[in-house]
């Protein structure tokens, strides 16, 4: 038969089978179609894998889904005998088809495909017309046919599996050098059926296991070149495994698992465990309570015995086992059944703790109820892993940076923190945590810093079944890490400290890049204020900790460390680790480290024995504020004020000059919370100055005059009337040109007014270069987005232009801005005699026009 003809015929028969009703057996059409398909299997070419899957799945579903024979007979009593006969013929036709397919492909792979298809989940048997898999139509949890809630479906599945096994034993056309295919899965499902409430199913399942054992035994003897009678070997194995015990089927299960030990490798142990989990799926009403309880008992006995005897073989498959448990838990709701499903975790952790923890770190985040329960199982049930070793392992993981060797973000530290959070919910674990509480706290705080702005792999995503109902709709890793810190604090009895941070906004600060150190400082300050017993241990731990790590590591550690200087125990620390380390920090490249070092020195200065040494470092402390952000300067100066008060008027004036130089640039800061404190502190520093004042100090004070004047006036037209300090006139001009670039419109306006009044006063001292700079600045400001700035810039240009004609200054050649109006207008060059409309209006209108144009762009 040609390929196309065979394919066409097969599709027609399968279409006919699909069209047969699944709730009744009224004609032999289904049976006849399968008989034709059986005949086709003997022809060439043989079916490919996709075709075999489609064929077997279609036929199995069509037959297994039929109601029980009794139900069909009750529905049509007149045809009861016909239905009985037709049913057995149909079932026999299916079995012949399966056997024929095995003969067509007499290989381990061929046998495996048939056994797996027979045992496929019910919903996965649904196929589209083109043979491709489609999603199940119903949302209920899926289970294999052998675990169906309907006894007649279980019976059909067991019968088909046993028949295929029996046919394999009789023919056995191949030697399975790699072991029996799908051994663990098939054995596990048959073991569960030994405990079936229907004794006939239990008895047949045990018979199937006997056949399976005989096949494996025969393969072993064939390898050793022994001549064996198959029937005799089967009878011997039947006696060896024992008769079916309907009163206590668990005895049969235990005996089978014990005797199959020689044939169970890592993969078989894994499959056997996962098959046993299938028996714990939620019980349907059709199964009934008794059936569900017996299934649960069979699963528990299977899991416990396999784990007790063979868990040492499961080392290499631990991740797969835990992944299977995680997936299966979604279909198990009954509390006792969930306890049984979680048994492998505690058993495996008692032998392979590291491997189990590594596997749990791969659970999706944030943890849902299933992932959380798996973590707690590590210490809730016996046998369990050593809690001390478990916590040490998590601590080691939390010390890792959340970045892989290839530079990619790593989820492992966040997963470890989540696992720790779940362990903390177990009361028996809290006492053990206290042993390494300081290390855990610092590791978590550093992880918070690392996770700020960190983008983790895509598998980290919001989950509908997330354990914490109050969590944010978008999962932000750093916030989750902060939550773990808070949980740790509360479990260690630090509720006052946690509440203090809540009030001060410390938890929010902790997760922000610019404020992280503030959040950490608040936490340390709270622990000192509330006399936390662990603060002293943290102090000693930080001494070596600050010697290593990157910048984020050091900032977090230092922020905590300096606040602990308030403690009396700091006296016991060698000075090189306290004052010496802070002095070194003044030269650090990171401004936050400089700020924290100043903070630390100020706290140390409160101790009389440290005051003199800290005061000696004051010049270095002030110098470290150069080029620092205004907000940090304000914070540092606030701390430094303590030392300035202690110094009185003894301090060298050069320190004051440097402090004034640092504060001055921040007078024009757009942030009022920076600008106002800097001006305020500047005034207080000036009040401390001694007489006579040095030339450097005088120059510094003079350079402050214009900025203060501009800030105070904010647009007053008289701001430019400066009659003294004519020697500093170029300094004033340069400063006003700088203020013309300020982001605050009021300061730009004041500087423009000042420039318009100052330049005419400069007469013969004005240089061509400076006049070009003035011109460029005013021309730019005529296009300012603020209307008032445009107007004042135009007025300043007008005023300066008139002064240039009057004073005959050296003007740049070819300058189109400044020209003699007498050449184009027949009026006097005198500024005072110019008509008002020509003095101002043209410039103002042009300025307003420029402003409007800029707004439209």
In this prediction, residue 763 has a pLDDT band, given cuts at 50, 70 and 90, of low
Burial label for 745, CB within 10 Å (0-12, 13-18, 19+), is: middle
**Model confidence at 70: pLDDT above 50:** yes
Q: Which residues contact 287 (CB under 8 A, 6 or more apart)?
A: 149, 295
284-291: average pLDDT = 60
pLDDT at 175: 60
**Model confidence at 306: pLDDT above 90:** yes
Helix (H) or strand (E) holding 439: helix 437-451
**Model confidence at 630: pLDDT above 60:** yes
Give yes or no for a contact between 838 and 825, defined as CB atoms under 8 angstroms apart. Answer: yes
In this prediction, residue 122 has a pLDDT band, given cuts at 50, 70 and 90, of very low
In this prediction, residue 647 has a pLDDT band, given cuts at 50, 70 and 90, of low
More confident residue, 761 or 600: 600
**Model confidence at 249: pLDDT above 90:** yes
Residue 731, CA distances (Å) to 416, 699, 706, 707, 770 in order: 60, 10, 9, 11, 12
In this prediction, residue 135 has a pLDDT band, given cuts at 50, 70 and 90, of very low
Highest mean pLDDT, choosing among 123-137, 525-539, 823-837: 525-539
d(Cα 282, Cα 280) in Å, to the nearest integer?
A: 6
**Model confidence at 121: pLDDT above 50:** no
825-844 tens-digit pLDDT: 333 333 343 333 334 344 33
**Model confidence at 667: pLDDT above 90:** no
**Model confidence at 855: pLDDT above 50:** no
pLDDT at 711: 57
More confident residue, 51 or 266: 266
117-141: average pLDDT = 39
Exposure class string for 112-121: b at 16+ Cβ within 10 A, else e: bbbbbbbbbe
pLDDT at 710: 54
pLDDT at 850: 45
**Whole-structure pTM value:** 0.76
**CA-based nearest residue to 470, from 457, 488, 483, 453:** 483
**Model confidence at 592: pLDDT above 60:** yes
d(Cα 777, Cα 179) in Å, to the nearest integer?
A: 87
Helix (H) or strand (E) holding 9: helix 3-19
pLDDT at 123: 38
**Model confidence at 559: pLDDT above 80:** yes
pLDDT at 709: 55
404-418: average pLDDT = 88
The three-state (H, E, C) secondary structure of 170-189, written as one string: HHCCCCCCCCCCCHHHHHHH
29-56: average pLDDT = 88
| Percent of the chain clearing pLDDT 70 (strictly above) | 81
């Amino acid at each position: 038969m040609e390929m196309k003809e065979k394919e066409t015929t097969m599709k027609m028969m399968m279409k006919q089978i699909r069209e047969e009703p699944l709730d009744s057996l009224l004609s032999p059409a289904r049976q006849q179609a399968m008989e034709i398909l059986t005949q086709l299997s003997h022809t060439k070419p043989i079916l490919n894998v996709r075709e075999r899957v489609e064929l077997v799945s279609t036929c199995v579903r069509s037959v297994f889904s039929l109601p029980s024979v009794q139900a069909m007979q009750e529905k049509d009593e007149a045809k009861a005998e016909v239905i009985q006969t037709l049913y057995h013929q149909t079932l026999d036709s299916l079995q012949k088809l399966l056997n024929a397919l095995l003969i067509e492909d007499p290989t381990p792979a061929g046998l495996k495909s048939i056994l797996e298809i027979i045992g496929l989940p019910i919903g996965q048997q649904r196929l589209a017309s083109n043979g491709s898999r489609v999603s199940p139509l119903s949302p209920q949890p899926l289970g294999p046919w052998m675990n169906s809630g309907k006894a007649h479906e279980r019976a059909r599945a067991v019968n088909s599996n046993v028949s295929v096994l029996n046919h394999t034993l009789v023919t056995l056309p191949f030697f399975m050098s790699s072991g029996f295919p799908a051994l663990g899965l098939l054995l596990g499902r048959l073991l569960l059926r030994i405990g079936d409430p229907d004794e006939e199913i239990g008895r047949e399942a045990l018979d199937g296991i006997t056949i399976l054992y005989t096949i494996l035994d025969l393969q072993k003897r064939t390898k050793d070149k022994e001549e064996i009678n198959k029937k005799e070997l089967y009878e011997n194995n039947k006696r060896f495994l024992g008769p079916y015990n309907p009163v206590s089927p668990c005895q049969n299960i235990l005996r089978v698992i014990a005797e199959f030990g020689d044939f169970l490798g890592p993969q078989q142990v894994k499959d056997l465990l996962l098959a046993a989990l299938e028996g714990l799926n939620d019980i349907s009403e059709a199964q009934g309570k008794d059936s569900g309880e017996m299934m649960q008992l069979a699963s528990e006995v299977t899991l416990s015995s396999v784990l007790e005897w063979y868990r040492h073989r499961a080392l290499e498959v631990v991740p797969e086992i835990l992944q299977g448990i995680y997936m299966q838990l979604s279909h198990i709701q009954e509390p006792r059944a969930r306890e049984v499903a979680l048994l492998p975790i505690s058993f495996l952790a008692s032998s392979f703790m590291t491997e189990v923890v590594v596997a749990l770190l791969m659970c999706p985040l944030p943890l849902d109820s299933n992932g959380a329960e798996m973590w707690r199982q590590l210490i809730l049930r016996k046998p369990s892993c050593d809690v001390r070793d478990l916590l040490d392992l998590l601590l080691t993981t939390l010390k890792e940076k959340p970045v892989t060797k290839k530079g990619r973000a790593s989820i492992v530290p966040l997963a470890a923190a989540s696992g720790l959070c779940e362990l903390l919910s177990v009361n028996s674990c809290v006492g053990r945590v206290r042993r390494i509480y300081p290390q855990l706290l610092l590791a978590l705080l550093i992880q918070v810093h690392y996770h700020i702005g960190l983008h983790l792999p895509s598998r980290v995503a919001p989950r509908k079944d997330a354990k914490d109902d109050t969590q944010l709709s978008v999962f932000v890793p750093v916030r989750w890490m902060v939550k773990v810190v808070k949980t740790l604090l509360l479990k260690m009895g630090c509720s006052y400290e946690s509440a203090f941070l809540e009030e001060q906004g410390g938890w929010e600060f902790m997760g922000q890049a610019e404020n992280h150190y503030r959040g950490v400082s608040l936490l340390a300050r709270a622990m000192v204020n509330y006399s936390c017993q662990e603060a002293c241990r943290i102090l000693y731990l930080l001494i070596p900790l600050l010697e290593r790590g990157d910048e984020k590591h050091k900032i977090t550690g230092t922020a905590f460390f300096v606040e602990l200087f308030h403690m009396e125990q700091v006296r016991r620390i060698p000075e090189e680790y306290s004052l010496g380390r802070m002095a070194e920090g003044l030269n650090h490249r990171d401004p936050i480290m400089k700020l924290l070092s100043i903070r630390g020195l100020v706290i140390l200065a409160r101790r009389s024995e440290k005051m003199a040494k800290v005061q000696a470092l004051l010049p270095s402390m002030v110098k470290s504020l150069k080029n620092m952000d205004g907000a940090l300067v304000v914070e540092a100066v606030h701390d430094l004020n303590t030392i300035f008060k202690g110094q009185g008027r003894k301090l060298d004036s050069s320190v004051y000059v440097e402090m004034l130089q640092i504060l001055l640039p921040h007078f024009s800061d757009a942030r009022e919370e920076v600008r106002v404190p800097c001006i305020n502190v500047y005034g207080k520093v000036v009040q401390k100055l001694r007489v006579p004042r040095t030339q450097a100090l005088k120059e510094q004070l003079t350079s402050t005059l214009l900025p203060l004047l501009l800030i105070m006036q904010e647009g007053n037209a008289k701001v430019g009337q400066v009659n003294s300090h004519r020697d500093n006139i170029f300094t004033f001009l340069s400063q006003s040109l700088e203020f013309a670039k300020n982001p605050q419109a009021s300061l730009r306006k004041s500087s423009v007014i000042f420039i318009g009044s100052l330049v005419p006063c400069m007469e013969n001292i004005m240089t061509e270069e400076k006049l070009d700079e003035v011109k460029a600045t005013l021309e730019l400001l005529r296009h300012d987005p603020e209307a008032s700035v445009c107007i004042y810039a135009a007025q300043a240009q007008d005023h300066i232009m008139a002064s240039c004609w009057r004073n005959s200054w050296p003007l740049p050649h070819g300058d189109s801005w400044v020209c003699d109006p007498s050449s184009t207008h027949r009026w006097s060059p005198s500024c005072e005699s110019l008509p008002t409309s020509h003095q101002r209006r043209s410039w103002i209108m042009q300025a307003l026009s420029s402003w409007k144009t800029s707004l439209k762009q």
